[in-house]
Amino acid sequence: MLHLDSSIKVRESYLASMTLIRALTKPGELAWNITREVGASVLAYELYPLAILGNSLPALPIFWTKSQSHRRPILFIHGIFHNKSAFFYLKQKLAAKGWHHFREMDLLTSVYTIPRLAERVRCEVDKLREEYQTDQIDIVAHSMGGIIARYYLQKLNGDGVAKNLITLGTPHQGTQWSKYSLLPHIRELQPASNLLKELNGLEPPQKTRAVSVSGTLDIMMSPATAPQWSGVRHIELKNVGHAGLLFSKRVFQIVACHLDD
């Protein structure tokens, strides 16, 4: 068993080294992609004050968009130390294509545990279903928000209530960075933590269609297998980082195609 673990670590180190070597052979392209990621990170936090605008971020007026209002409402779940402004770009792009019913959550990820935040998600989903008189909703989640959404699906009977779950930059297998957190519930995002062992020990959703999207420049994905959720489709985008997933045209296309059934 020890030999097998060593072999896996050697293989991961080799793959990471080859990825870095290939990147360094194109320094101009690498520099541009890193610059874009830094810009996305800055923009994400420049938009942070938008969360004070009320229950929902502004979207394009309906008369500027396609009027296909029959589509399911979308619930956005942000990651750690962020707020609902994280999805401002994605919401505008979806509104332009005919989605009109959105709900963004503001979660105190630095205060409450993942199970408690998942309870809040359950309450919000119930409100959305009642408000729009629908049996199902869709969920798009970023970073730790994807783990919160998973807990709702796998532990709180959300499987099937959410028609689709799309996670962006979510460390489904945990991230080594979380071990440096002073907050115990953030350290639950470490690989092989009790919480992740429990979730990964359960079968993936059977009624909810789930997909995990990650980027090759996402430094939060450590180890490289972090965004993989066993039994769930995984899409890896080249030259996209953690914040860049929130402002990526390719991510929007994936989300729109996945939700537009």
State the DSSP string of 248-260: -HHHHHHHHHHH-
- Of 174, 225, 231, which is closest to residue 208 (Cα–Cα)? 231
Question: In sequence order, what are the residues at sequence separation of 6 or more whose Cβ sits closer than 8 angstroms to the Cβ of residue 236?
Answer: 213, 214, 215, 216, 227
State which amino acid sits at residue 228.
Answer: Q
Residue 252: CB atoms within 10 A of its CB come to 18
- CATH 3.40.50.620 is right for the domain spanning 2-259: no
Alpha helices in 75-231 (DSSP H): 88-96, 114-132, 144-155, 194-201
Give me the residue spans of the domains in the chain.
2-259
For the chain, the first-to-last Cα distance in angstroms comes to 44
Residue 261 reports pLDDT greater than 90: no
CA–CA separation, 6 and 175 (whole Å): 19
CA–CA separation, 191 and 98 (whole Å): 39
> Which run of H or E residues covers position 168?
strand 162-168
Taking residues 140-147, report their average pLDDT: 96
Q: What is the pLDDT of residue 184?
A: 81
Q: What is the pLDDT of residue 220?
A: 87
CA–CA separation, 146 and 140 (whole Å): 8
Residue 2 reports pLDDT greater than 50: no
Q: Which residue has the tokens 């020990």?
A: 201
CA–CA separation, 13 and 130 (whole Å): 49
DSSP state for residue 73 in the 8-state scheme = P
State which amino acid sits at residue 108.
Answer: L
Counting Cβ atoms within 10 Å, is residue 175 exposed (0-12), middle (13-18) or buried (19+)?
A: buried
Taking residues 100-128, report their average pLDDT: 92
Residue 180 reports pLDDT greater than 70: yes
Q: What is the pLDDT of residue 63?
A: 46
Single pTM value for the model: 0.80
